[in-house]
């Protein structure tokens, strides 16, 4: 199959759909890869590296879309890209169609087969193509918090690790899923005192096992959240209720009771945020202060580390991408988890939750939902 990798055009997006290492895997299996000139620049992969891996580098995105049968991207396609897609294309990328009817209509009109990373599943009931970005975000959350705690960044002037004789910061993590556990790895690694507030008992057992007592777990109740945020120097919001807006665990009235100069990092901001006072920010202007508490609510935290994020994403997408390249849409008949990634096909919505959110009929061409 001919696989195309256009340069990402969403503002502030520097990740790339395939790294040169991934290109080599496709090429070795007999596929052709066409990459738009400069597609990897933001993540540190030159055109020369892609050529060395066996890709053909083409000058424009139009060339790539015209040549390729499958387009591998990172972010949802932008309006100019909807127009380049046709019913010959498989589109493999993050889509997030449910809250985005304009994009959904653009893709439906194109007739393409849109496979969304975020709805591909695994045997454990997880979302394997979302997890790598949660790992990156959880880890970034802690050193962003550490930076923000410093005086010149608006924080209380605390070094997150402490020094001998001076205690470290207390970091409270709300939600101990992928983001929360990765934040805990970093915070504990820096020497912080860490407590994870979680509502899943099996998850708390798992965290207790892996951290061997280094991290405190606490069952999530209103009382527990209130007690922990008042003791914390840093609160990291990492809760997720699948398919729903994040619950508002920290309310405006809590802020004036928290330590002045403490830091809230709301990783759940992409689901609306779990602090009532959260609003999305960018890497250029990441923080703002409400009632003396500094808020960090960057909606695309992995975007700060495009090199690491591209590599981690490709490791997760590569096995699925290769199946699609080998077998085309036939791969969906063999792999139910991949079939659950299909959101649109030939002008129809093929994912039940997306169809419901958009108020459109749902069709199940590969029996993935039967
Ligand atoms: N801002 C970013 O750049 C960025 C990047 C990656 C992920 N995220 C977001 O981070 C959030 C967490 O993602 P994840 O992959 O860790 O999800 P996850 O499903 O692995 O973990 C969520 C955890 O929250 C727990 N939870 C739910 N409600 C709770 C409550 N009331 N109290 C305590 N715990 C509760 C769940 O039991 C679960 O363990 C998501 O909203 C995700 O979209 C944001």
Atom in ligand 1 nearest the alpha carbon of residue 302: 3
Mean pLDDT of the chain: 96
Contact 121 CB / ligand 1 (< 6 Å): no
For ligand 1, whether the C-beta of 187 sits within 6 Å is: no
Q: Could you tell me what percent of the chain has a pLDDT over 70?
A: 99
* Mutation choice for ligand 1 from 238, 282, 299, CB with most ligand atoms inside 8 A: 238
> Does residue 241 carry a pLDDT above 90?
no
Mean pLDDT, rounded, for 13-40: 98
How far apart are the CA of 136 and the centre of ligand 1, in A? Answer: 13
- Does residue 179 surpass a pLDDT of 70? yes
Q: Is any ligand 1 atom within 6 A of the Cβ of residue 350? A: no
Q: Please compute the mean of the pLDDT values over residues 149-170 and round it to a whole number.
A: 98
Is residue 62 predicted with pLDDT exceeding 90? Answer: yes
pLDDT band of residue 44 (cuts 50, 70, 90) is very high
Q: Is the CB of 265 under 6 A from ligand 1?
A: no
Residue-level pLDDT at 125:
86
54 Ramachandran zone, left/alpha/beta (phi>0; psi -120 to 50): left
Burial of 70 (0-12, 13-18, 19+ CB in 10 A): buried
Average of per-residue pLDDT across 180-208 = 98
Span from the CA of 246 to the centroid of ligand 1 (angstroms): 8
Among 12, 125, 179, 282, residue to substitute to test ligand 1 (most atoms within 8 Å of Cβ): 179
Question: 129 in ligand 1 pocket by Cβ < 6 Å?
Answer: no
249 CA distance to ligand 1 middle (Å):
12
Which atom, in ligand 1's list, is nearest to the CA of 182? Answer: 16
* Cα 237 to middle of ligand 1, angstroms: 8
Q: Which atom of ligand 1 is nearest to the CA of 246?
A: 41
Q: What is the residue with the minimal CA distance to atom 12 of ligand 1?
A: 238
Give me the mean pLDDT over the 68-74 stretch: 98
Q: Is the CB of 204 under 6 A from ligand 1?
A: no
pLDDT in tens, 287-326: 999 999 999 999 899 999 999 999 999 999 999 999 999 9
| Residues paired with residue 287 on neighbouring β-strands, in sequence order | 296
Does pLDDT of 244 surpass 80?
no
Rounded (5°) CA angle 3-5-7: 165
- Tell me what pLDDT residue 12 has: 85
Rounded to the nearest angstrom, the distance between the alpha carbon of 178 and the centre of ligand 1 is 7
Q: Is the pLDDT of residue 242 over 70?
A: no
Whether residue 284 contacts residue 292, with contact meaning beta carbons closer than 8 Å, is answered with no
- For ligand 1, whether the C-beta of 299 sits within 6 Å is yes
Catalytic residues: 96, 270
CA 197 to ligand 1 centroid distance, Å: 12
Q: 184 in ligand 1 pocket by Cβ < 6 Å?
A: no
Structure tokens at 134: 């949660």
Give me ligand 1 centre to Cα 177, in Å.
6
243 pLDDT band (50/70/90 cuts)? low
Looking at the chain, the whole-number percentage of residues with pLDDT higher than 90 is 94
Is 177 touching ligand 1 by the criterion CB < 6 Å? yes
Per-residue confidence band for 271, with pLDDT thresholds at 50, 70 and 90: confident
**pLDDT, tens only, 97-133:** 988 999 999 999 999 999 999 999 999 888 999 999 9
Q: Per residue in 182-191, pLDDT tens? A: 999 999 999 9
Query: Would the CA dihedral through 183, 189, 193, 197 be positive or negative?
Result: positive
pLDDT score at 11: 86
């Amino acid at each position: 199959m001919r696989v195309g990798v256009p340069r990402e055009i969403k503002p502030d997006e520097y990740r790339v759909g395939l790294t040169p290492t991934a290109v080599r895997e496709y090429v070795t299996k007999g596929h052709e890869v066409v990459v738009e000139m400069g597609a990897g620049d933001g993540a540190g992969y030159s055109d020369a590296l892609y050529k060395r891996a066996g890709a053909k580098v083409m000058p424009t995105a139009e060339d790539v879309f015209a040549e390729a049968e499958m387009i591998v991207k990172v972010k949802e396609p932008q309006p100019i890209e909807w127009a380049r897609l046709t019913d010959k294309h498989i589109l493999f990328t993050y889509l997030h169609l449910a809250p985005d009817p304009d994009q959904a209509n653009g893709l439906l009109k194109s007739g393409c087969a849109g496979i969304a990373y975020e709805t591909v599943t695994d045997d454990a009931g997880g979302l394997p193509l979302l997890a790598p970005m949660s790992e990156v975000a959880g880890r970034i959350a802690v050193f962003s918090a550490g930076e923000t705690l410093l005086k010149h960044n608006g924080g209380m002037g605390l070094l997150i690790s402490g020094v001998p004789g001076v205690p470290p910061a207390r970091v409270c993590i709300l939600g101990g899923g992928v983001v929360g556990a990765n934040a805990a790895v970093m915070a504990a690694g820096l020497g912080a005192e860490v407590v994870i507030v979680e509502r899943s008992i099996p998850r708390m057992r798992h965290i207790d096992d892996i951290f061997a007592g280094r991290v405190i777990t606490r069952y999530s109740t209103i009382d527990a959240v209130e007690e922990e945020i008042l003791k914390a120097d840093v609160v990291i919001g990492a809760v997720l209720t699948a398919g729903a807006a994040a619950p508002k665990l920290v309310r405006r009235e809590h802020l004036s009771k928290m330590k002045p100069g403490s830091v809230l990092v709301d990783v759940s901001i992409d689901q609306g945020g779990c602090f009532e006072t959260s609003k999305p920010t960018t890497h250029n202007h990441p923080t703002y202060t409400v009632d003396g508490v500094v808020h960090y609510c960057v909606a695309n935290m992995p975007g700060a580390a495009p090199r690491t994020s591209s590599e981690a994403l490709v490791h997760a997408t590569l096995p699925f991408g290769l199946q699609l390249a080998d077998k085309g849409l036939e791969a969906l008949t063999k792999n139910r988890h991949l079939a659950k990634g299909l959101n649109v096909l030939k002008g129809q919505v093929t994912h039940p939750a997306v169809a419901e959110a958009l108020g459109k009929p749902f069709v199940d061409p590969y029996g993935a939902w039967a």
